[in-house]
Each structure stands twice: as C-alpha cells, then as structure tokens.
Amino acid sequence: MAHSLAIEEFEALTRAFSGFGVDEKSIVTVLSKWHPEQRKSFRKSCPQFFKEDDRFFERWEDYHINILEREFARFKKATILCTLHPSERDARLAYEVIHKGQPSGILIEIACTRSSEELLGARRAYHSLFNHSIEEDVAYHASGANRSLLVALVSSYRYEGTWVNAEIARSEAKTLGKAIKEASKKKLIENEDVVRILSTRSKLQLKVTFDEYEEMFGEAIDKDLEDELSLQETVQCLSSPPKYFSKTLDMALKGGVSESTKEALTRVIVTRADIDMKEIKEEYQKVYGVPLAFKIEEATCGNYRDFLLALAGRSN
C-alpha cells in the first residue's frame, strides 16, 4: 500500500499535465516522491492523459513521452522566442514554416503585420541565418495557387507615409469587388490585380480602399473573402492586426485542430507583447466577452502560464 497512488496526487498530476505547458511545481512535489511502481501505475491508470491524436504513435508510451516533451518545450520555446531579436525571431518563424510544409498563415502574419522596416529586418536576418533570401525560399518551396501572393507579400517594402489617393482607392475597390464576384470562374488568389493591390499598396491606402469597398458592396471585404482563407488573413493582417491576433489567440486557446494553431498562443503573446497587446486585449474582451488573461490562465500551466501572463500583462 505504501506505493499506491494517493487520490490528491493523482489529481495534482492530472492538472499538471493538462492544457498548454506543464505545472512544474506539482511535478516537482509529487513526481519526485514517487517510487518506480507508482510511476508505472500512474502511466497504466490513465492512458487518456494527453490523448489528442493517436494516429501517429503505435505505442502509447511513445505518444505520452512525445506529448510531455512538447508541453515542456512550450515554455522553452516561449523563452527562446522572447530573448531573440525581433528580426531574428521573424526570420526563424518564417524559415520553420517554409520548410515544414505549406507555408501560408505565419508568413502572411509576418509580411503584413510588421512595419516595412521590421519586415526588412527579418529579410536581413534570414540572409545571415540561412544563406538564402526569404522570397527565394518561399518561391522555391511554396507550391499551389498562393505562391505568387506569398512571394509578393514577403518582398514588399510598403510606403508608410500619409499620402493617399482616393481616386485609386475607389477604382481598386471596384476592381476587388469585380474579382470577388467573378471568383467562381477563376481562382481569386491567382488574380493578378488582387495580388498586386494587396501586396504593393500602403496600409493607409488599403484602409481607404477597404472602406470604399464596404460602401460600394454593403459588406466588409474580409467577410466576402470567407472562402479564400489566405486572402482573408492578408486583408485582416493589413487592416486590423489586433482583430486578427485576437481571433488567432481565440482559436489557439480553444485547443485548435492542429499543433500549429496551438503554437500561435506563444507566438502571438511573445511577438505582440511590446507592440499592440493592449489593443489585442481590448479587442478580445469586446468580441469574446471575457478577459484574455482569464482564458490564458484557464488553459495553461506552470511557468509557461506565468510567463505568458507576465508578458500579456506588461501592457497594462
């Protein structure tokens, strides 16, 4: 009986291993006292732990260990991302997503929510880290319809002054509307005018264009782009980063469908902590009716939780 599991220890560990991150303190106090048989009995008694997707793991133990490693890695990754220079951070995020599959979301996020100089900083850092240019790797590795959009977005160096041409805004709002209306005939994301407008115009010019669009067609352009995720994200990142980030955080906190959705939690909190976290929190509260910090606290554990809350709280 000496080596069986106490119910409160079992519960403490359940909490310690649930959600994002791990509760290091509980692990230290509970796990450290256990004997080998107790550890074995814990493993055997709760195969449901960390059970999310067992397609990839034949043996439950491998799966278990893999998840443990991943949850431990969250705090490490947050720490690393936080200490990197923003340019290097963006370069590494871009490299990872370009080389681990079909790049899109994170690249759009980096290309469209950063200032021209920040994006350029990332392109510079990418050179020295990876001996290639971002656009070179995107053009080479991306395939499919959104390649030309992605290449154009990461190559952009947008004008950031206050000059806006209202006439061009009107005419391009019309161009966008026409393209969206005819999208069923031809893939919208391959439309040269749509790519040109979204990838080269200044953010201020685009804001006026999107306003014109809404006035002309009675609906916000991002609503009309619901079938074209990459274009919708592009529009949201360009016109309203806080809205985009608050939506991204919500998807991550809901547990998401994929690991990349969940990883957004670390990425967004770390990259926006010193930029627009205040606006993101306001937007989150407005749309989801609950403070972002509550949701983070609910969904995360341990050092990872403390770290995210501290970062997110800095803007208060």
Q: Which residues bind a copy of itself (CB under 8 A)?
A: 120, 123-124, 127-128, 131-133, 135-136, 139-140, 147-148, 151-152, 155-161, 163, 192, 196, 199-202
Task: State which residue, 27 or 119, has the beta carbon closest to a copy of itself.
Answer: 119
Residue 4 or 162: which CB sits closer to a copy of itself? 162
Tokens 């990839």 belong to 56
Whichever of 89 and 158 has its CB closer to a copy of itself, that residue is 158
Smallest distance from a copy of itself to CB 170, Å: 15
Nearest residue (CB) to a copy of itself, 29 versus 115: 115
Gap between the Cα atoms of 149 and 134, Å rounded: 14
CB of 205 to a copy of itself, least distance (A): 9
Closer to a copy of itself at the Cβ: 57 or 159?
Answer: 159
Residue 201 C-beta: closest distance to a copy of itself, Å: 6
Q: Which is nearer to a copy of itself, 146 or 303 (CB)?
A: 146
117 alpha-carbon distance from chain centroid: 21
Give the nearer residue to a copy of itself in terms of CB position, either 22 or 197: 197
Give the shortest CB-116-to-a copy of itself separation in angstroms. Answer: 8
From the CB of 4, what's the least distance to a copy of itself, in Å? Answer: 59
Task: Output the smallest distance, CB 109 to a copy of itself, in A.
Answer: 19
Task: Give the shortest CB-123-to-a copy of itself separation in angstroms.
Answer: 5
Judge whether 187 and 144 are in contact, CB under 8 Å: no
